Every structure is written in C-alpha cells, then in structure tokens.
Amino acid sequence: MTGLDVLATGPLTTVQDLGRPGHAHLGVPMSGAADRGAHRLANRLVGNTETAATLETTLGGLRVRVDDDAFVVVTGAPCAVTRGDTPMGHGAAFAVHAGDVITLGPPTVGLRSYLAVRGGIDATPVLGSRATDTLSGLGPPTVAAGHRLPVGSDAGPWPMATESFTAAAAHHGPITLAISPGPRADALIDPEALTAGIWVVDAASDRIGVRLDRDPHRSDPPSALHPASTERASEGVALGSVQVPPGGQPVLFGADHPVTGGYPVVAVLTADAIDAAAQLVAGDRVRLVPTHR
C-alpha cells in the first residue's frame, strides 16, 4: 500500500477531513480542516472525494517521502513546494515517484497549507471522521517525524482541472471578516464597539480560536468592548461564533472550538470569513463588518 513517511512536520501538522458534525449534544466538537475551502480544493485537484483526509500544516516545514507513485497537490497558504530539488507549483497537482521527498516551505502569506494525495490519508476513523481534534484529543495523533501515513482509496474520477490560481495575495490593509448577528447580539454595553475600528490578531491563537485585541498603534482607540453582564448560563456555540469574555477581547471560534461556552456569542462569521480567519497570523489587522451593511 502506498504511504507517506514523515521526515519533518514544522510547528504543527495534523490529519484533517471535514470533521464529525452531529455530535455536539454528546460534547464532541466537529473539528476538521480549519480552512475548509482550501481542503476541498486540494481534494478536488487530485480527484478525491471532498471528505478524503488531507494533511494540514501550520507555518510550513512539512517534509514527507513517498514510497510509491502518487499524485499530490498543495493548497491553502501559498508556500514554496519542492519535489526533491525541483520547485513545483502551489495549487497545481503533480506526480511523484517512489523515494521522492515533498517539502513545504513557510507561507508567504497566511498560516495553514494543505497537502492532498490522491486516495486520501488512510487514518483510522473516530465517530466517522479522520480529523485530529486538538481540544478533545479525538482522531489520529498529531503527525510526528517517523510516522508512516498510509494512502487510502477515497478517490473518484480523474479531475478535469488539476490546478488553481486562487492563492491569497499579500495583505495591504485590514482583513475584512463578514459577520452576522449572534444569539446574544444585544449583550454588549456598546453594540457598535465590535465593528468600530481595527482589531489585531493575538499570538495566543490556535485551531480552537483566534483571539483579537485592539490596535496598539491607534491614537484614538474605539470604546472598549464589554458584555453588559458576565453572569449567564453556558450555551451551545457553533463554528465561527464570535464570543466576548469579560476582558472585552473577542474570540473567533475555529474548527476545534468547545461545544458550549458561558460568554455571550454576539456575532457569527460567514462561511467565507471562517476560512479567512483560519489563515490569520499574529499581528494581522482585522475589521469585522456586518453583512447587512
């Protein structure tokens, strides 16, 4: 059986698919690819089903050796991709042969890149999913050097297109994330504070959530964001929820978010904004924009 021998992983590499929806009532998060659009694109370019498992790598550094002929692609955060010493295109599928080493460099913009191999990564499913959940520990373990990852059979017909030129461009201003009102949109002392001014991505962000803080370089920062009350019962929260704790720094819930929370969910990211938030790095400047404006 074709497999990938892991030589290096960078800061974090995990196996991801579209997650395990439908188990929140049991306390099980959905998990899955943080940038679902990039994951789906990777599978589409090698002819996999969209539920096939890919490798999600954070800030590059992934190196794998294939032990048989295979067909692979890298999507998501644009980065240098090499097959041995040969540069290969990002967002363009290519053939590899037994013994070839695939290397992903650090992204030029963004955070997470996706390596898909035709057939998908054949990890053992847990509750119907091969996704690694960094919060609950469900799914396959975090990928480590020395692991061998078998390639499965989640492939369909050969794709009609094997390349895409949708890589993100360098940011020249604040990144706009569209939001809709959340179930507790009325919980803020100042309802306009969430969408006023610029937020900055905090370094304490991960697959669980993106933490935002105010831009320290503003001479006239907007009013602080605070919930009107911090005493409320725990409620269910969904992917993309914008939760505001007492300190007033919003958290954008990502793929591995908890299924309940006690702080108000004042807004919810749109599907495209969820993918964009998954590519935010510390220091990125963000503006939250209501969809109804």
CB-based contact 42:74 (threshold 8 Å): yes
Q: What is the pLDDT of residues 206-226, one digit of tens each?
A: 999 999 998 766 544 444 466
Whole-number pLDDT of residue 222: 45
DSSP-assigned beta bridge partners for residue 81: 88, 104
CB-based contact 52:73 (threshold 8 Å): no
Side chain identity, residue 109: V
Whole-number pLDDT of residue 225: 62
Higher pLDDT pick, 188 / 73: 73
CB-based contact 100:116 (threshold 8 Å): no
H or E element in which residue 107 lies: strand 101-107
When pLDDT is averaged across residues 238-242 and rounded to a whole number, the result is 95
User: Distance between CA 91 and CA 176 in Å, rounded?
Assistant: 24
Instruction: Using alpha carbons, list the distances in angstroms from residue 186 to 177, 191, 259.
Output: 20, 7, 21
Whole-number pLDDT of residue 235: 83
Q: What is the pLDDT of residues 121-146, one digit of tens each?
A: 999 999 999 999 999 999 999 999 99
Provide CATH code, domain 175-290: 2.40.100.10
The average confidence (pLDDT) of the chain is 91
Show the tokens assigned to 234. 């725990």
Query: CB neighbours of 159 closer than 8 A, spacing ≥ 6?
Result: 44, 45, 46, 47, 93
Write down the domain spans for the chain.
3-150, 175-290
- Asked which of 5-14, 20-29, 89-98, 277-286 is least confident by mean pLDDT, the reply is 20-29
- Asked which of 58-72, 167-181, 259-273 is least confident by mean pLDDT, the reply is 167-181
